[in-house]
Structure 1
Amino acid sequence: MRIWDIDPGYLNRQSLLGEHRELHAIFVVLTQHKKGYAAHPETRRWKGHLAALGKRHDLLVEEMRLRGYNHHSPLPVVTGEIKWPKTFIDPPHAQFAILQEKYRDKEPGRIPLPSSARQLWAQHKYSVLARDTRLYKIIGPWLAATDNPLRFRALAKILVRTLRFPPAAGRLQNGLDHMWGYVSHLAGRSGSKQSPRQLLQLTRELAASGNIAYLLASTALGEVGAWMAPQPLSTALDAHMATGEGDKYALGYQPPF
């Protein structure tokens, strides 16, 4: 039983769906005081952190939907402040090593497992930009000086902790605008009149259809959606069809990850 701390984009299909299933099991143990797995370290780690467990569920579901997987098992709504566990079963840098071994000769996740701190940073840049512009400006020069296992270890923990904060509206828009810059030439129209949710969805679709590798390997392509308010269905459909490619997606087009 494991709840990962790194972004769900690194998980392959089996691990992603497996974590979703195990998260539900932990939630039941904690809310219904079941004995099964009550003494498991992962269960104990999340005791008193139900709102954060619910947010991790949101992140898993957002990644599942990005990959075209169906989701029909919502968690009960948990109110209150989101307080994340202070401890890790394995530190973030070690979680990448675990997956590296686990996925040997197996299908990978959406995002390639990073082999250096610079690659790890490239995958997280827009997630950080959507939260902390000062940190965004610091990390690049810090890694330009040197890229070694110690910096990978430190950066992995910094990124996990940073992505646990909700993006402020203005910074979120800034991150989305930077991502939009990679696909705007494919849209044939401006993204300025789109809501954040619409802009993210359109960016996802264009990144997939245009095979924009940098965005497809970005944590922000998935995770920022988990922090947005759900979009009304009618608005979503209008925006979807307005791309001129609504029929293609309605007929079952799946992104290449």
Structure 2
Amino acid sequence: MRLWSISPGYLDRQGLLACWREALLAQAVLLGNTKGYRNHPQLIRFRQSLDPMSAIGTYLEGIHLEATSRGYHFDGSKIASGRLAEKSIVVTRGQAEYELQHLRNKLLMRSPEQLEQWPVGEHLELHRMFYLVDGPVEAWEVVGKSAT
């Protein structure tokens, strides 16, 4: 499971589809509708939020918005919960930079044309529900392990 902190705009088609599916799986876990993935480290920050269901709903909304802007038809009715304010969960700079490099490595192999569309410059774009603070890679991240 990979629930990206970086903007879904960085993702290629495969990455966006996988992120949607995996966020729906995360939602099912948080709802208690599945036995698998209950202890997945990617869920820690959602569980630690004041309202985990609204947090995952807000996350899914961001993925849905990006998909819609690309002309994809993701079923928004699958988003089960209310919404949180944007920028409601913290992410460390180390985590965001790790994810960006992890995705860059994936795209070099499967969608190098997507890298050409990435924004140029110093500004790191995050998913709209995260805000950036200084810090290392998050303790829950499985560094070096290939994840989708």
Identity %: 27
Q: Partner amino acid for 2:12?
A: N
Distance 2:101 2:35 in 1: 32
> Partner of 1:78 in structure 2?
82
**1:11–1:82: structure 2 CA closer, same or farther, 3 Å change rule?**
closer
Q: Deviations over 1:185-243 (max 9, x none)?
A: xxxxxxxxxxxxxxxxxxxxxxxxxxxxxxxxxxxxxxxxxxxxxxxxxxxxxxxxxxx
Distance 1:41 1:15 in 2: 19
Q: CA RMSD in A?
A: 2.9
Aligned to 2:108, the other structure's residue is in SS state coil
Asked if the contact 2:107–2:115 (Cα under 8 Å) also holds between the matched residues in 1, the reply is no
Is 1:7 the counterpart of 2:18 in the alignment? Answer: no
**Structure 2 regions of 5+ residues with no counterpart?**
131-148
> Partner of 2:104 in structure 1?
100
Aligned to 1:36, the other structure's residue is in SS state coil
Is 1:59 the counterpart of 2:25 in the alignment? Answer: no
Distance 1:22 1:100 in 2: 19
Aligned to 2:2, the other structure's residue is in SS state coil
Asked if the contact 1:45–1:87 (Cα under 8 Å) also holds between the matched residues in 2, the reply is no
Name which structure has the greater RCO, CA cutoff 8 Å, separation 6+. 2
**Structure 1 regions of 5+ residues with no counterpart?**
122-155, 166-257
Larger fraction in helix = 1
Larger fraction in strand = 2
Distance 1:80 1:10 in 2: 22
**1:54–1:87: structure 2 CA closer, same or farther, 3 Å change rule?**
same
List aligned pairs for 1:222-237, cutoff 5 A.
none
TM-score relative to the length of structure 2: 0.68
Structure exhibiting the larger radius of gyration computed from Cα positions: 1
By how many angstroms is 1:105 displaced? 3.4
